[in-house]
Amino acid sequence: MTAAKAGSDVPSPPGFRVDRTLGVGRHPILAVFPGLDQLGPAGRLVREARPRARLFRETSIELVDEDMWMYVAPWELPPFARARGWEPVVAPNVDCIVVGLGHLRDSPDMILYLDIFHELCHLLQRRDGANLWEPGLSYVERRTEVDAYRFVVDEAHALGVPDDYLREYLKVEWITKKEHEQLLAAVGVGPPARSRAVPRS
């Protein structure tokens, strides 16, 4: 999951489109994000054309009327979900990304761009056998999260997105300040500049 924390003070990614008019329900990913498969990050995620076409053909977006961002719908309910009060959309053996309707309609293009490619990274990780909810590790210790964030951070840097924007983007509400700093270091985002003390005369 990723969170829309940063503002809208960076340009929209070139060629990125979103259909913000769609309603609750399941839609093909290219109906929600037309042309997403033609953008540079799609080619860097899956370099060969046929597997890339398959990914975008088989992936759907489930829009839900909930106050949330995005996550990959698990194939089965994770063991910890009930204890945490999490009731995710479960989509057995289907590549489905769940998106909050408000997030789709109101979040800046750059946030949606980073989020959707982050979640596509997770789909590919799961196809390769990774456990996206690996027990015993914190959010920022999971290799799946670090790798997915590093991918979108690299894409953002290539577009000239500044680190102060990315620091805010990576400040997800379910991690501590220390974990946030750990995540920044892991994905190549610099820490905030520390203010210098004014010397006394």
- What predicted TM-score, i.e. pTM, was given to this entire model? 0.90
Span between the terminal Cα atoms of the chain, in Å: 50
Q: What is the DSSP letter of 61?
A: E
Q: Could you give the strand order of the β-sheet that contains 70-72, starting from the edge strand earlier in sequence? A: 25-28, 59-64, 95-100, 70-72
pLDDT, one tens digit for every residue, the chain (201 residues): 444 444 556 888 999 999 999 999 999 999 999 999 999 999 999 999 999 999 999 999 999 999 889 999 999 998 888 888 888 999 999 999 999 999 999 999 999 999 999 999 999 999 999 999 888 778 788 899 999 999 999 999 999 999 999 999 998 887 888 889 989 999 999 887 664 444 443
3-state SS assignment for residue 59? strand
pLDDT score at 81:
81
Whole-angstrom Cα distance, residue 131 to residue 57?
23
pLDDT score at 11:
84
Decide: 15 and 114 in contact? Cβ < 8 Å: no
CA 70 from centre of chain: 7
pLDDT score at 9:
67
